[in-house]
Structure 1
Amino acid sequence: MTITTKAPFRADIVGSFLRPDRIKQARLQKENGEITAEQLRAIEDTEIIRLVEKQKAIGLQAVTDGEFRRAWWHFDFLGGLVGAEFYESESGLQFNGVTTRAHGVKVTGKIDFDSHPFIEDYKFLHSIAGNHTAKFTIPSPNMLLYRGKIETDIYTNKTDLANDLISAYQKAVQAFYDAGCRYLQLDDTSWASFFSESGLEKIKEQGDEPRELAELYARVINESIANKPEDMKITMHICRGNFQSTFTSSGGYENVSDIIFGSLNVDGLFLEFDDERSGGFEPLRHVNRSDLKIVLGLITSKFGELENPENIKARMKEASQYVSLDQLCLSPQCGFASTEEGNKLTEEQQWDKVKHVINIANDVWK
């Protein structure tokens, strides 16, 4: 395979992996007071080391900690911001017939970033990455705009909250960089609200104008990463929901494709293209930068069956009609465990999926 030395890589991953039984057991033991937080962290350390070695062994260039220390892909980080809190909500999130646990994040004060525990989590990953690139994932700042319950008089409109989020994330980006991070990914489900007519109607019902909201989301992303150092790569994963192999949203990128592909200043976009819910590749015509990497999520992380590699190659060829093959990469469409419950496939199937990505990429970029 032609080696790409800068992230994102030809064969890449979104980030999360199925939690080992040992971690699940240890978290229950911690909740029951049977082990300490320090003992739980030691168990997580051991399992993360094992995970990283596995990622290296199968041929990935970027390695993650699998989000093993988190219960949620977004709430854990957002709840650690100054002015935000993780809380027990009245009901869970609805996922195509399945409901999550009743958790959420609320804004109780002025949003800021200071001494976040995820910095130490990154430092541990960095310490064991060796010659591989340590990739770390955090939720997009838009997720607090999208999911945050406002319980303070400080913010009477989205713009004021957005401005403080930008400041907080600028500090976060610098903090991760200072800790050694050169590959940071922002995960974001808020964009999926624009992909369907029902989503657009819901935005309007909440008092927002869809185009103005999309432009606000783009500004938040761009200004949050505006000061990133030159040698740091920041990508974004746009998701339609991922909980126990289900989803929350459907629809293609067309409604906001000019904004996503034409105005976001990220270094790469991880995009879901694994089934008909994602629409076609035509929105990629708005890509107007030769340095923007488009990571095609053509391999589903929701189920264990392996896709026909020739079908995947054919779809990549189709995408290359809109974006040069040199700008394309391949990955699973999402992580394998956006929450600690994980998707409905085995660890063996999970690793077969990752190997599938690598093998296909090796064939495409010989």
Structure 2
Amino acid sequence: MTEQQPQSSHARTVPPFRADHVGSLLRPPELLAARERHAAGELDDAGLRAAEDAAISDVVALQESVGLRSATDGEFRRTSWHMDFIYRLGGVSRTSGTVEVKMRGRHGRTSFTSAGMAVDDRIRLDEPVFGPDFDYLRSQVTTATPKLTLPSPSMVYARGGRAVIDKTVYPDLELFWADLSAAYADELAAMYERGCRYLQLDDTALAYLNDPAHRAELAEKGDDPDTQHLRYIRQINAAIAHRPTDLQVTTHMCRGNYRSAWAAEGGYDHIAEALFGELAVDGFFCEFDDERSGTFAPLRFVPPGKQVVLGLVTTKTGELEDPDLLKRRIDEAARYVPLDQLCLSPQCGFSSTVEGNELTADDQKRKLELIVAVADDIWGR
């Protein structure tokens, strides 16, 4: 967008906001030290909780100070963006096995290992997973809307596929999917009762399907890579179908994020028509920070009434983007979806796992400030 072009008609007063962010933030050194002491048995659970509370209070204040209208707890109580939730679902167990996740980054190929999981009983919600965590976040905000992030239902299946689901418990996968969506619906209802009005479902499974290599791996496991995204869309829709009208739900679809590395590449073309046309969320957080993310062309399938949050600011490096370039890229995206349906954010979280990406807290703050400034220039405050 050039300086001569008019602003959009208005800023947004409901989520997703014109300037928004994905959720996870860099853990401060004091919190990392407390986690280490806790793991070594030198700090009890109450001591760790107190350290988390203090760090979350500070990071909420940071988000509000830079002008963001949404605030998360930075996912500071989690080790991983998804497994801390999945392991607490009834019917899911942590196993002694490990899963290797292959990643790519600026420094070449890498990988990390994570504990395995098994579905060995009926999936259910025994208690609200992030209830007390959200309560504390809500108590800390003053100007921002508290935002809760959850891994999408897709991730429970994508983490291990059919191989980790006990066939004596679920001889028919249809029952597994029904139970899974019901458990998520229960979590959404519980969080709404606690005051949550902005919830985001994080999903790498959908974005991975855009990468031919990942589609090939899925086929080797016995799934159909041409239709798997339709299954994921159906189950997310089932999970959110009965949400209250004032609970705004978005989804974030990224290609992996671990210490500034990623797992998949490719534009949203493979899933775009069904994704944007059928997924019943209020907004889509999409990565568009570099060439591995493809073009804006898939956005032509976005229907009226849906917001697209353009992830144009990378969290993979500390280099600060040129605001004029960001405005030009937003203008490019507006060729496919009206400007009033667009927002701006980082392409992913800054710390999807406890280790964090390769940038500093000052870099993170500057990037959040940049997003707010550019959004204000385009849409007004």
**Match for 2:367 among 331, 353, 360?**
353
2:11 pairs with 1:3? yes
2:320 pairs with 1:306? yes
Q: Distance in 1 between matches of 2:36 and 2:134?
A: 24
Q: CA deviation at 1:157?
A: 4.6
Q: 1:205-220 residue pairs with structure 2 within 5 A? A: 205-220=220-235
2:153 pairs with 1:145? no
Q: CA deviation at 1:107?
A: 1.4
Q: Partner residue of 1:135?
A: 147
Q: Partner residue of 2:115?
A: 103
Which aligned runs of 4 or more in structure 1 are off by greater than 4 angstroms? none
8 Å contact from structure 1 (residues 75, 105) kept in 2: no
**Match for 2:58 among 23, 31, 50?**
50
2:131 pairs with 1:119? yes
Q: Distance in 2 between matches of 1:255 and 1:58?
A: 36
2:197 pairs with 1:182? yes
Tell me which amino acid in the other structure corresponds to 2:283.
G
Q: CA deviation at 1:300?
A: 0.3
After TM superposition, the structure 1 stretch with the greater mean CA deviation from structure 2, 81-90 or 214-223, is: 81-90
> What's the % identity of the aligned pairs?
43
Structure 1 portions without partners, runs of 5+: none
Q: Deviations over 1:318-355 (max 9, x none)?
A: 11011110000000000000000000000000111111
Q: Distance in 1 between matches of 2:363 and 2:86?
A: 31
After TM superposition, the structure 1 stretch with the greater mean CA deviation from structure 2, 232-241 or 159-168, is: 159-168
Q: Distance in 2 between matches of 1:351 and 1:89?
A: 38
Q: CA deviation at 1:86?
A: 3.2
Q: 1:330-345 residue pairs with structure 2 within 5 A? A: 330-345=344-359
Q: CA deviation at 1:91?
A: 4.2
Classify the secondary structure of the residue corresponding to 1:22. Answer: helix
After TM superposition, the structure 1 stretch with the greater mean CA deviation from structure 2, 222-231 or 130-139, is: 130-139
Q: CA deviation at 1:208?
A: 1.6
After TM superposition, the structure 1 stretch with the greater mean CA deviation from structure 2, 125-134 or 224-233, is: 125-134
Q: Distance in 2 between matches of 1:146 and 1:160?
A: 16
**Match for 2:253 among 220, 238, 241?**
238
Q: Deviations over 1:76-111 (max 9, x none)?
A: 001011111234433432212222243233212110
Structure 2 portions without partners, runs of 5+: 1-6
Tell me which amino acid in the other structure corresponds to 1:265.
A
Q: Deviations over 1:282-309 (max 9, x none)?
A: 1111112x22110000000110001111
Q: Partner residue of 1:17?
A: 25
After TM superposition, the structure 1 stretch with the greater mean CA deviation from structure 2, 113-122 or 290-299, is: 113-122
Classify the secondary structure of the residue corresponding to 2:94. Answer: strand
Q: Partner residue of 1:34?
A: 42
Normalised TM-score (structure 1): 0.97
Q: Distance in 1 between matches of 2:195 and 2:41?
A: 34
Q: Deviations over 1:133-167 (max 9, x none)?
A: 00010100110010043246212354322111111
Q: Partner residue of 1:80?
A: 88
2:310 pairs with 1:328? no
Classify the secondary structure of the residue corresponding to 1:90. Answer: strand
8 Å contact from structure 1 (residues 30, 36) kept in 2: yes
Number of matched residues?
A: 365
Q: CA deviation at 1:266?
A: 0.2
